[in-house]
């Protein structure tokens, strides 16, 4: 019999290694050799997991995230279009960015498609619009040896990004729809070179969110969009029917700052990036978003193209807002005709190919 508190030295025992906490002077901790092996294996597993996590994160950053450099990235003339030609082909070089009056004057059939991929059937209305607007690219952009451009999306990822100063350093800053600048300058910057919009997305007071020299670029999805801009600029009787949301009835802008985006870029964005057919039978036709269209245009206009604020929440995330400036969720995209999943894949493909670089995560 072994007395309580004593030890039976006759039974075989594994050697015990004592560890003492020298700070707390707690009782010794006894660890047997098998325990040491287990701890070593756990430590090895932990090291492997950390290494794998870091390597995956580095790969993610390499593909989809471009940290702000201290110095300007080298810019080479024609570089963006050369890379993009793998996707779009070289034929984009022959198409002007903005529609021009001379291309519609006395021309009966300038386009093979109806809106939004062409102007077939809207020529007479378009002639009146082009007569009071302009098509030139400002000399401040034309004179650049190499055009550094950033397309600023409206995504939630811009919130608290502190990218404002970096965005303002680009030669051309392209914004979308009615995304505000005032109150968000630290995250989105203050300069706006171009703003792409359609009537329903036009800001009711364009002078608040734009600079005096900002080009306001109309993206026409339907013939009523041409009708809206004509009535606004010519001060004719406004028509509100035919829009899914009431556009501004008073829109104080200088007509010479207005441009009409060439629908050709909508065509190649839909066909080359999203693989959408030009002729669709469905009632709500699928079409590119203004953001993807802006990227397509920038790849033709610019020599270096970066993006910021692109990407939507996961489909199962019902509460995450999609914009940096308002509390609406992905549910608002239902019925819009935009396939955000397909667009995300198209943008990721361009990031992987080095056609674009990203200032925010994607």
pLDDT in tens, 242-291: 998 999 999 999 999 999 999 999 999 999 999 988 777 666 678 999 99
Percent of the chain with pLDDT over 90: 61
Burial class of residue 313 in the structure, from the number of CB atoms within 10 Å of its CB (0-12 exposed, 13-18 middle, 19+ buried): middle
Place of tokens 């070179």: 193
pLDDT tens, 181-218?
A: 999 999 999 999 999 999 999 999 999 999 999 999 99
pLDDT score of 92: 73
Split at pLDDT 50, 70, 90, the class of 42 is confident
Q: Could you give the CA distance from residue 254 to residue 3 in angstroms, rounded to a whole number?
A: 102
Domain housing 101: 68-358
In a domain, 46, yes or no: no
Mean pLDDT of the chain: 83
Q: pLDDT digit string (tens) for 315-334?
A: 666 678 888 998 887 676 66
Q: How confident is the model at residue 105 (pLDDT cuts 50, 70, 90)?
A: confident
Q: How many CB atoms lie within 10 A of CB 180?
A: 17
Render pLDDT for 166-183 as a digit per residue (tens, 0 to 9): 999 999 999 999 999 999
Residue 25 lies in a domain: no
User: Which carries the bigger pLDDT value, residue 255 or residue 241?
Assistant: 255
- The total of structural domains in the chain comes to 1
10 occurs within a structural domain: no
Kindly report the CATH number assigned to the domain that includes residue 141: 3.90.1480.20
Has residue 144 been placed in a domain? yes
- pLDDT on residue 347: 96
**For residue 58, how many other CB atoms are within 10 A of its CB?**
10
Whether residue 130 is contained in a domain is answered as yes
Q: Which of 173, 171, 174 is nearest to 147 (CA)?
A: 171
> Residue 119 domain-assigned?
yes
> Is pLDDT above 50 for 24?
no
At 339, the pLDDT band (50, 70, 90 cuts) reads: confident
51 within a domain of the structure (yes/no): no
107 domain-assigned:
yes
The predicted model scores a pTM of: 0.80
């Amino acid at each position: 019999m072994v007395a309580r508190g004593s030890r039976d030295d006759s039974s075989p025992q594994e050697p015990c290694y004592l560890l003492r906490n020298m700070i707390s002077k707690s009782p010794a901790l006894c660890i047997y050799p098998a325990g040491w092996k287990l701890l070593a294996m756990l430590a090895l597993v932990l090291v492997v997991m950390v290494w794998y996590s870091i390597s995956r994160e580095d790969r993610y950053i390499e593909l989809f995230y471009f940290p702000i450099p201290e110095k300007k990235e080298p810019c080479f003339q024609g570089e963006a279009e050369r890379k993009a030609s793998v996707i779009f082909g070289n034929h984009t070089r022959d198409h002007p960015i903005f529609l021009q009056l001379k291309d519609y004057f006395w021309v009966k059939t300038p386009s093979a498609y109806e809106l939004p991929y062409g102007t077939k059937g809207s020529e007479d209305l378009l002639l009146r619009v082009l007569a009071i607007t302009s098509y030139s690219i400002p000399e401040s952009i034309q004179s650049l040896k190499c055009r550094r451009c950033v397309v600023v999306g409206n995504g939630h990822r811009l919130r608290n990004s502190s990218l404002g100063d970096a965005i303002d350093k680009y030669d051309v800053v392209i914004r979308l729809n009615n995304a505000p600048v005032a109150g968000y300058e630290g995250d989105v910057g203050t300069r706006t070179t171009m703003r792409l919009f359609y009537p329903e997305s036009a800001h009711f007071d364009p002078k608040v969110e734009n600079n005096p020299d900002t080009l306001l670029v109309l993206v026409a999805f339907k013939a009523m969009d041409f009708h809206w801009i004509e009535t606004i600029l010519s001060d004719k009787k406004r028509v509100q029917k035919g829009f899914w949301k009431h556009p501004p009835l008073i829109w104080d802008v200088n007509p010479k700052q207005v441009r009409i985006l060439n629908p050709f870029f909508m065509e190649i964005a839909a066909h080359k990036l999203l693989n959408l057919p030009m002729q669709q039978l469905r009632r709500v036709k699928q079409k590119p978003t203004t953001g993807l269209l802006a990227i397509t245009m920038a790849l033709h206009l610019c020599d270096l193209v970066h993006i910021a604020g692109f990407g939507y929440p996961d489909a199962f995330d019902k509460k995450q807002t999609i914009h940096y400036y308002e509390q609406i969720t992905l549910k608002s995209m239902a019925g819009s005709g935009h396939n955000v999943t397909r667009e995300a894949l198209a943008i990721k493909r361009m990031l992987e190919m080095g056609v674009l670089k990203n200032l925010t995560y994607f």
